[in-house]
């Protein structure tokens, strides 16, 4: 399909909008396994996880974490949380590809051979070559074939799953997420002393104790902010003003906030910036309808599908994490 291949070339072209915009696009962060120098090749110590025996390398993880943080300054504890979240996404993606192979819904080797040949032909027409492209992007042929496989199977899965009826049901069940509802929130932010799992667990334990003290009436939320919270908002009672579900706040933060009713306090929430206790002070209902937010609803359904397929595939495809995956390394 010429149109499909032209779109593929624009997707993987260095500096293309698609490449800049897709944080989980494998090709932009795949690892060189066939570089010109043997020292450039990844070793077993570079593996952070395996999915069905296939490795995920630390450089790929570091690249994607760097994109996710987008230059933000975070401490080691926050970095570790970001690494865990990104690695989880990478593992889910590999599990979906394993599902495609197991259910024989993956394209044939001949189909992928044809896609590789078509890409090489388009690169040649631009005065380049496939080998040059792979070297420039620091990827190997296995990584390229994996991405080409994804480009075939994932749209097929989405077409079957993201239907009009399912979008209507999902919108109705999560209306506040999509209709423009805003919340007035404040938070208590706690930071871990280090990136170690014990330090993070201590911070979570402290947050739970603070929450229980507030719920028991032993201390007000505002007093707890003054006593325990860090960050600029602590000087203003922890207030963050009005937030939308699709605003600039981190997904894990807004997801927890939008599960609250006015006056409720969340369980501890981890983000790359620390551990939060969130209180919803007021709710301003939204008015948007499905037709106005259909694209966003479809994206949410796509995430739901990814999570479902990955979760189900785990019973068939083993996932193992290397010990170094738990150690924060800056990208």
pLDDT in tens, 144-175: 999 899 999 999 999 999 999 999 999 999 99
Report pLDDT for 321. Answer: 93
Report pLDDT for 44. Answer: 66
Structure tokens, 80 = 């570790």
* Residue ranges of the chain that CATH labels 1.10.4030: 2-166+298-326
pLDDT in tens, 226-276: 999 998 899 999 999 999 998 778 889 999 999 999 999 999 999 888 999
Averaged pLDDT score across all residues of the chain: 85
187 has which bridge partners?
278
pLDDT in tens, 122-146: 999 999 999 999 888 767 898 899 9
Percent of the chain with pLDDT over 90: 64
Residue labelled with tokens 């919108």: 171
Helix, coil or strand: residue 316: coil
Structure tokens, 319 = 């996932």
CA atoms of 280 and 187, how far apart (whole Å)? 9
| Start-to-end CA span in the chain (Å) | 38
Instruction: Decide: 142 and 33 in contact? Cβ < 8 Å.
Output: yes
* Residue ranges of the chain that CATH labels 3.10.50.40: 181-284
pTM of the model: 0.72
Report pLDDT for 326. Answer: 46
DSSP 24: T
Asked if residue 19 has pLDDT above 70, the reply is no
Helix, coil or strand: residue 187: strand
CA atoms of 68 and 207, how far apart (whole Å)? 26
Q: In terms of C-beta density within 10 A (0-12 exposed, 13-18 middle, 19 or more buried), how is residue 327 classed? A: middle
CA atoms of 58 and 84, how far apart (whole Å)? 12
pLDDT band at residue 85, thresholds of 50, 70 and 90?
Answer: confident
Report pLDDT for 94. Answer: 96
**How many DSSP H helices and E strands does the chain contain?**
13, 7
Percent of the chain with pLDDT over 70: 83
Strand duo 54-57 + 47-51: pairing: antiparallel
Phi, psi for residue 184 in degrees, rounded to 5? -95, 115
CA atoms of 310 and 191, how far apart (whole Å)? 31
273 vs 113, residue with greater confidence:
113
Report pLDDT for 249. Answer: 86
CA atoms of 297 and 162, how far apart (whole Å)? 9
Angle at 86 between CA 83 and CA 87, to 5 degrees: 80
Please report the DSSP string for 197-216 in residue order: HHHHHHHHHHHHHHHHHHHT
- Average pLDDT (191-215) is 91
Asked if residue 318 has pLDDT above 70, the reply is yes
- Average pLDDT (274-294) is 97
Assign domain 181-284 to its CATH architecture.
Roll (3.10)
Topology classification of domain 2-166+298-326? Triger factor/SurA peptide-binding fold (1.10.4030)
Report pLDDT for 231. Answer: 81
Report pLDDT for 316. Answer: 98
């Amino acid at each position: 399909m010429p149109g499909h291949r032209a779109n593929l070339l624009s997707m993987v072209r260095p500096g293309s909008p698609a490449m800049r915009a897709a944080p989980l696009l494998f090709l932009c962060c795949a690892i060189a396994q066939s570089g010109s120098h043997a020292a450039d090749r990844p070793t077993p110590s570079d593996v952070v996880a395996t999915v069905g025996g296939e490795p995920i390398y630390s450089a790929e993880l570091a690249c994607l974490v760097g994109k996710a943080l987008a230059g933000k300054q975070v401490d080691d504890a926050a970095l570790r949380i970001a690494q865990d979240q990104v690695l989880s996404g990478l593992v889910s993606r590999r599990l979906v590809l394993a599902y495609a192979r197991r259910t024989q819904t993956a394209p044939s080797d001949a189909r992928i051979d044809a896609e590789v040949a078509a890409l090489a032909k388009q690169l040649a027409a631009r005065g380049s070559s496939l080998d040059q492209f792979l070297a420039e992007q620091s990827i190997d042929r296995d990584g390229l074939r994996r991405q080409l496989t994804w480009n075939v199977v994932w749209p097929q899965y989405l077409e079957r799953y993201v239907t009009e009826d399912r979008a209507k049901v999902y919108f109705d069940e999560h209306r506040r997420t999509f209709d423009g509802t805003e919340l007035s929130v404040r938070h208590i932010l706690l930071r871990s002393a280090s990136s170690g799992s014990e330090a993070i667990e201590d911070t979570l334990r402290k947050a739970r104790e603070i929450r229980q003290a507030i719920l028991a009436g032993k201390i007000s939320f505002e007093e707890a902010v003054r006593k325990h919270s860090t960050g600029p908002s602590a000087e203003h009672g922890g207030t963050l003003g009005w937030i939308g579900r699709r605003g600039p706040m981190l997904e894990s933060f807004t997801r927890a906030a939008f599960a609250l009713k006015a006056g409720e306090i969340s369980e501890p929430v981890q983000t790359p910036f620390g551990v939060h206790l969130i209180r919803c002070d007021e709710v301003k209902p939204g008015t948007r309808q499905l037709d106005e937010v259909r694209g966003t609803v479809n994206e949410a359904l796509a995430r739901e599908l990814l999570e479902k397929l990955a979760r189900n595939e785990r019973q068939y495809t083993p996932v193992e994490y290397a010990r170094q995956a738990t150690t924060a390394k800056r990208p």
